[in-house]
Amino acid sequence: MPQDQSHHHNHHHHVSAETGDARVAWAVAVNMALTVAQIVGGILSGSLALIADALHNFSDAIALIIAFGARRIARRPADAAMSFGYGRAEVVAALINYTTLVVLALYLIYEGVMRVLEPEPVDGWLVVWIAVLALAVDLATAALTYAMSRDSLNIRAAFLHNLADAMGSVAVIVAGSLVILKGWTWVDPVVTLLIAGYILWHVKADAGEVIRVLMLASPPSMAAEEVAGAVEAVDGVAEVHHVHLWAMQERAAALDAHLVIAPGDWGRADAVKAAVKAMLAERFGIGHSTLELECARHACMGAARFGDGAA
């Protein structure tokens, strides 16, 4: 019976989640196939650039597998061990993927510098053909994950891996062509360094958001002071303190606070609390709020507005 229940549970998800999973699975399969093709091609042509690109594509597939696993985990309902649910699995996966991107970029910089110092001969034609194939795969993967990348930090990290890859393939095509036409072997490492710089720039732009969520920062879209002020503006609230406002996941904010009920309003304290909760949900989209009520006479003295300390 339990097996049957879990099976039943899976079928009740939105179609979009299932479609998303299928897209990610296809993207992984295509990238794995490409990795094999590039390694074979790299060995045959004697091109280190192709083998490096293969490693990049392999990291791509791994990034997608991590993203895929995290998506599955994130959809689990909350339980006793994970009372906030499993949604943050996606944020953790994004952090892992950004970290590997940094390592990859540093590796490419090292390789590029070594290549500038000691250029190596390359069979241009084979490199170009395999890079064209790689570009087609990268664009296909990017197309599969683009729509999902807009509303998931996790898939966005995997999508960036892909975008960097597509640029890498273009670079390899350009470098291979210049080797054939002009015999310029230095173009290859120079382009590699540019790609590495591009990857690092992207990580810098997006990794901050991941770290904010993991550090329990208030969501970037809302100012904590504005939320606190809005709570105090509700009729019957004298003051608010010990406010904690954080992003549970990328798109879900939560709030804990102590409400001081205005003198004479204790009789309708529950109604005041309900009004505050309704306002938070409607105006700020905060679905999870825990409010502790204090009457004006017994309120915490000198409490900090944010956090648990004293003012």
Q: What is the pLDDT of residues 30-72, one digit of tens each?
A: 778 878 887 887 777 766 667 777 777 777 777 778 878 887 8
> What would the two tokens of residue 291 be?
């409010």
Q: Which helix (H) or strand (E) holds 155?
A: helix 153-182
pLDDT classification of 10: cutoffs 50, 70, 90:
very low
Q: Could you tell me if 97 and 69 lie in one domain?
A: yes
Q: Which of 157, 184, 214 is the last residue of a domain?
A: 214
In this structure, are 208 and 230 located in the same domain?
A: no
Q: Does residue 86 fall inside a structural domain? A: yes
The yes-or-no verdict on residue 101 having pLDDT over 50 is yes
The percent of the chain in helix, strand and coil, each rounded to the nearest 5, is: 70, 10, 20
Residues 95 and 197 in one domain: yes
- Residues 146 and 274 reside in one and the same domain: no
Residues 10 and 156 in one domain: yes
Is 148 in the same domain as 204?
yes
**Which pLDDT tens digit goes with each residue over 213-241?**
888 888 877 888 899 999 999 999 989 99
What is the CATH number for 245? 3.30.70.1350
Range of the domain at 236: 224-298
Run of H or E including 117 = helix 89-117
- Name the β-bridge partners of 253: 247, 286
Task: Look at strands 237-247 and 253-261 and give their pairing.
Answer: antiparallel
**297-298-303 Cα angle (round to 5):** 110
Total domains in the chain come to 2
Task: Report the CATH number that the domain containing residue 13 is assigned in CATH.
Answer: 1.20.1510.10
